[in-house]
């Protein structure tokens, strides 16, 4: 429990879901062999960090920013540029560190310049920044490779051609990407536990106070601009870390995979579906979203094939219409879990815990 910063999931169903996600991700290369499954599992891990970092801003502090993918992209491009120019672990680590440093500096500048303005204007400024960096990445071809992006090779230990063991272990042939996966797994787990610690620290409590009532927080003596700036900086740093892992895992980086606005919407949905201000919700939302993006189409194809001959159904289940079904899932989740999955489950458990005392 101390590892979880005494922040229990709070509801048995939530605890089971999270444990299942953790176990499945821990064993993914062995449970679901194949490059696609490994890529999906790695993507879930990376988006858990990205969504959790966004939850720190949106769910805990109540700051609506549209620049979270910007920092994600800066982390990815840091690694990509470093591994295009150089090679090896040192380049990878320096690239990631540079991406994180630039993100942190940019987030700090933006926070200090614009957090004083009203929330809606701050959101617009983040939107402008996101667009600016996106255009910069597309146009500055000499550095970023433009729309095509950068393709690079990663250190040998995590490269596809690397086979450290002659024989399979537990039925799995260990390759570079499997090692890369476990590196990402370890970093994600550590990042998530650190974020969990931060939100349950005295500082995290102030962030919640700012979300609930910034005027009252100031009247208590909290200089909320400093707390909000620090939250922005932390969120940017973790997002850049996620971006660095993304570059390392994909071995290429382009504006579409790291800076696109649709990616920003995905993160927003992950946090909202999972439950804002719970952190566990970010993990849940990232898992649900990435799974849906990768497996809803094949699932629909299978269902459509099974429904052949029935009126209208095959047309509705056409894999091309997967976004329609994804939308339907969102509507259902938001209707039945208004505070997100984790948020609503927790609220129920809390109400039940208090009930006997009323």
- The binding site for other proteins (CB under 8 A) comprises 5-6, 194, 197-198, 200-206, 208-209, 211-213, 215-224, 227, 230, 350, 353-354, 357
**C-alpha span between 254 and 24 (Å, rounded):** 29
**C-alpha span between 47 and 252 (Å, rounded):** 17
- Nearest-approach distance from CB 286 to other proteins, in angstroms: 23
By C-beta, is 59 or 177 nearer to other proteins?
Answer: 59
- Nearest-approach distance from CB 221 to other proteins, in angstroms: 4
By C-beta, is 131 or 197 nearer to other proteins?
Answer: 197
By C-beta, is 308 or 358 nearer to other proteins?
Answer: 358
By C-beta, is 118 or 354 nearer to other proteins?
Answer: 354
The answer to whether 245 and 46 are in contact (CB under 8 A) is: yes
By C-beta, is 176 or 204 nearer to other proteins?
Answer: 204
- Nearest-approach distance from CB 288 to other proteins, in angstroms: 24
- Nearest-approach distance from CB 37 to other proteins, in angstroms: 35
By C-beta, is 34 or 202 nearer to other proteins?
Answer: 202
- Nearest-approach distance from CB 215 to other proteins, in angstroms: 7
By C-beta, is 35 or 201 nearer to other proteins?
Answer: 201
- Nearest-approach distance from CB 10 to other proteins, in angstroms: 13
- Nearest-approach distance from CB 231 to other proteins, in angstroms: 10
């Amino acid at each position: 429990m101390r590892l979880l910063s005494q922040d229990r999931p709070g509801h048995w169903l939530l605890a089971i879901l999270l444990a299942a996600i953790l176990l499945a991700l821990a064993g993914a290369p062995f449970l679901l062999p194949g490059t696609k499954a490994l890529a999906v599992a790695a993507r879930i891990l990376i988006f858990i960090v990205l969504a959790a970092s966004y939850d720190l801003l949106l769910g805990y502090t109540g700051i609506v920013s549209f620049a979270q993918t910007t920092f994600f992209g800066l982390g990815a491009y840091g690694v990509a540029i470093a591994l295009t120019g150089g090679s090896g672990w040192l380049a990878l680590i320096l690239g990631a560190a540079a991406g994180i440093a630039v993100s942190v500096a940019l987030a700090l500048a933006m926070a200090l310049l614009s957090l004083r303005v009203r929330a809606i204007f701050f959101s617009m400024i983040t939107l402008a920044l996101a667009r600016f960096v996106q255009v910069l990445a597309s146009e500055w071809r000499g550095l970023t490779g433009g729309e095509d992006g950068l393709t690079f090779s990663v250190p040998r230990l995590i490269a596809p051609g690397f086979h450290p063991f002659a024989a399979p272990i537990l039925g799995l042939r260990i390759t570079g990407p499997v090692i890369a996966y476990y590196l990402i797994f370890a970093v994600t787990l550590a990042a998530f536990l650190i974020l969990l610690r931060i939100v349950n620290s005295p500082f995290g409590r102030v962030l919640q106070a700012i979300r609930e009532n910034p005027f009252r927080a100031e009247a208590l003596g909290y200089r909320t601009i400093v707390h909000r700036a620090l939250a922005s900086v932390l969120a940017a740093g973790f997002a850049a870390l996620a971006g660095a892992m993304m570059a390392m895992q994909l071995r290429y980086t382009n504006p579409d995979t790291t800076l696109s606005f649709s990616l920003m919407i995905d993160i927003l949905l992950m946090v909202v579906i999972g439950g804002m201000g719970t952190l566990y919700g970010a993990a849940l939302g990232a898992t649900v979203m990435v799974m849906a993006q990768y497996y809803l189409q094949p699932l629909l194809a299978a269902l459509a094939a099974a429904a052949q001959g029935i009126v209208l159904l095959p047309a509705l289940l056409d894999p091309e219409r997967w976004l329609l079904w994804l939308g339907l899932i969102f509507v259902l989740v938001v209707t039945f879990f208004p505070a997100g999955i984790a948020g609503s489950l927790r609220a129920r458990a809390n109400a039940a815990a208090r009930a006997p005392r009323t």
